[in-house]
Amino acid sequence: MQGKMIARAKELLQNGTVNRVIGWKAGDFAYDITPAVFNSAEELDAGFVYNDFCGANFSKYLVKESRKEGKILVFLKPCDTYSFNQLTKEHRIIRDNIYVVGVPCDGKTDGETLKLKGITGITGIKTEGDSFVVDTLYGEKTIAKADALPERCLSCKSKKHVAYDELLGEDGEVCESNRFDMVEKLEAMSSEERFNFWRGELSRCIRCNACRNVCPACTCERCVFDNDNSGIAQKAAADSFEENMFHIIRAFHVAGRCTDCGECSRVCPQNIPLHLLNRKFIKDINEFYGEFQAGEDTETRAPLNIFDTEDVEPSVVYEKGGN
C-alpha cells in the first residue's frame, strides 16, 4: 500500500491537482512516525511511510493546512474520514482545498502499546501475516497483531470511508462494534465503585493538554481552559476537582460532535481511558435521542443543536436501575 500511495501522490503532484501532501514520516525506530507535509516527489521517496504504526489522524491538521495556498493531498483512514466530515460540517476546514484519498486500515498500533505488552528494547518490526515479529535488543519476539492493537482498533466502528475524492484499495463496511461494553460494565457498577474507578484514572492526569490539542473536535479558536479568568488556564490541576472538571467539560464540549476516533486515549501519556467519557455521551445520545454517529455525513444536525418536544426528562438518570 505504501508504494501505491507514494506513486499516486507523485502523480497528483505532477499533474498539479495538489501542491503538497500531508502524510506520515519515518523516524529513528520502526514506530516513531511523525505527521509531516511533503512538497515534492523527492521528499516522498525520502521519508513517506504507511505501515501498522500510522495511527495519527490528520483531519485536525487540515484546519490550518486547508487555509494555506493551493490544494493539499491527505490520506485518510476510515475512522479519520468521520472526523473529516465533522470538520467539514462545522466549516472548520475548507473542503475545496483538500484532495482526499481514502486508504484502508486493519488497525494501527504504536510503540507504547507494544511496550505495555512487555516488549521493550525494540530495534525493528516486521509484519508477518497476522503477527508482528519484533527485533529487540534482547532477542526476537513475536506477537499476534490482534494482541498488539490498542482498544480503539479492537472495537473498530467502521472500515467504511464516509468522505473521499478517490479510494486506494477496497472500501470496507461499518462494523459490528462492541465499543460500549466497558461503558455498560461501568454503568452496572455501584456509584461508589464508579467513583473509585474514575478517581484512579483521572488522578493520573498531568494536564498536559495532549488530549485536547490532538482532538479533531477541539478546534475552538480559544479554548475555555486557555482563558486566564477561568482560574485553571492550561495549568496543572491543583485539586482533584480540577482534574474532574477539565475532563467533564472537555467531554461535554465535544458531545454530539465526537466521532470516537480514539486519538485522546492514544496520545494520553498516562494511559487514561478518555474514550470512555466520550463513549458514555455517545451511548446516552443514542439511547435518549436516537442513533447518531457524528461525522457520518455533512448535513445532519448535532443532537445538542436540536431538540424534540417529547425528549426524555433529566430525571431519566435517577429512574434507571442501580445506584
Partner 1 sequence: MFKLSLNNLNDLFKAAAEGGALYIPADDGAGQARFTRWCDGMEMSKALKTVKSAKEFFFPQTESLVDFKMKGKEIEIIDPRTESEDFVVFGVRACDARSFSILDKVFLADPVDTYYKSRREHGTIVTMACSRPEETCFCTAFGVDPTAPEGDAVCYMTEDELFIEAKTEKGTAFVEKVKAVLTDGDAAPVEAQKAAVKEILPKLPLANLSTDSFGGDKLMELFDSPKWAELSASCLGCGTCTFVCPTCQCYDIRDFETGHGVKRFRCWDSCMFSDFTKMAHGNPRLTQLERFRQRFMHKLVYFPANNDGEFGCVGCGRCLSKCPISMNIVKVMKTLEGESK
Partner 2 sequence: MQVNEKEFKPTIVAFCCNWCSYAGADLAGTNRLNYPADVKIIRVPCSCRVNPMFILRAFQRGADGVIMCGCHPGDCHYTTGNYYARRRMTLLFSMLDYLGIERERTRVEWVSAAEGAKFAATMNEFVETVTKLGENKRLEDLRCKEK
Nearest to 280, CA basis, from 151, 146, 184: 184
Q: How far apart are CA 79 and CA 174, in angstroms?
A: 10
Ramachandran quadrant class, 191 (left: phi over 0; alpha: psi -120 to 50; beta: rest): alpha
Q: Which stretch binds partner 1 (CB under 8 A): 163-171, 211-219, 293-301, 305-313?
A: 211-219
User: Is residue 116 within the footprint of partner 1 (CB under 8 A)?
Assistant: yes
Q: How far apart are CA 107 and CA 97, in angstroms?
A: 28
**Cβ-contact 157, 238 below 8 angstroms:** no
Nearest to 216, CA basis, from 78, 88, 50, 49: 88
Q: Which stretch binds partner 1 (CB under 8 A): 98-106, 121-129, 167-175, 187-195?
A: 121-129
Q: Please identify, using beta-carbon distances, which residue of 46 and 312 lies nearer to partner 2.
A: 312
What is the contact mask toward partner 1 in residues 156 to 185, using x (rule: CB under 8 A)?
------------------------------
User: Is residue 45 within the footprint of partner 1 (CB under 8 A)?
Assistant: no
Q: How many CB atoms lie within 10 A of CB 17?
A: 12
Q: Please compute, for residue 189, the number of CA atoms within 13 A of its CA located in the half-sphere on the CB side.
A: 13
Q: Please identify, using beta-carbon distances, which residue of 45 and 311 lies nearer to partner 2.
A: 311
Instruction: Choose which of 36, 49, 63, 168 interacts with partner 1 (CB under 8 A).
Output: 36
Instruction: Choose which of 115, 126, 185, 301 interacts with partner 1 (CB under 8 A).
Output: 115
Q: How far apart are CA 82 and CA 105, in angstroms?
A: 14
Cell of 126: 516486521
What is the contact mask toward partner 1 in residues 261 to 300, using x (rule: CB under 8 A)?
-----xx-xxxx----------------------------
17 binds, among partner 2, partner 1, none (CB under 5 to 8 A by kind): none
Q: Please compute, for residue 29, the number of CA atoms within 13 A of its CA located in the half-sphere on the CB side.
A: 16
User: Is residue 9 within the footprint of partner 1 (CB under 8 A)?
Assistant: no
Q: Please identify, using beta-carbon distances, which residue of 117 and 280 lies nearer to partner 1.
A: 117
Q: How far apart are CA 274 and CA 213, in angstroms?
A: 14
Binding site for partner 2 (CB under 8 A): 183, 186-187, 191-199, 224, 238-242, 244-245, 248-249, 251-252, 255, 277, 280-281, 284-285, 288-289, 303-304, 307-309, 311-318
314 binds, among partner 2, partner 1, none (CB under 5 to 8 A by kind): partner 2
User: Is residue 226 within the footprint of partner 1 (CB under 8 A)?
Assistant: yes
- Shortest distance, position 180 Cβ to partner 2, whole Å: 12
Q: How many residues bind partner 1 (CB under 8 A)?
A: 49
194 binds, among partner 1, partner 2, none (CB under 5 to 8 A by kind): partner 2
Q: Please identify, using beta-carbon distances, which residue of 137 and 317 lies nearer to partner 1.
A: 137
- DSSP tag of 242: H
Segments in the chain forming alpha helices (H): 2-14, 41-47, 61-65, 78-89, 111-116, 145-148, 151-154, 181-188, 191-202, 210-214, 240-253, 263-267, 275-289, 316-319
User: Is residue 63 within the footprint of partner 1 (CB under 8 A)?
Assistant: no
Q: In the block, which residue shows the cell 479492537?
A: 154
User: Which residues sit opposite 126 in a β-bridge?
Assistant: 133
- DSSP tag of 208: -
Instruction: Choose which of 2, 19, 131, 209 interacts with partner 1 (CB under 8 A).
Output: 209
User: Which residues sit opposite 36 in a β-bridge?
Assistant: 23
Instruction: Choose which of 238, 248, 306, 316 interacts with partner 1 (CB under 8 A).
Output: 238
* Residues binding partner 1 (CB under 8 A): 27-29, 31-37, 56, 61, 111-112, 115-116, 120-123, 136-138, 200-201, 204, 206-210, 212-214, 226, 228, 231, 233-238, 266-267, 269-272
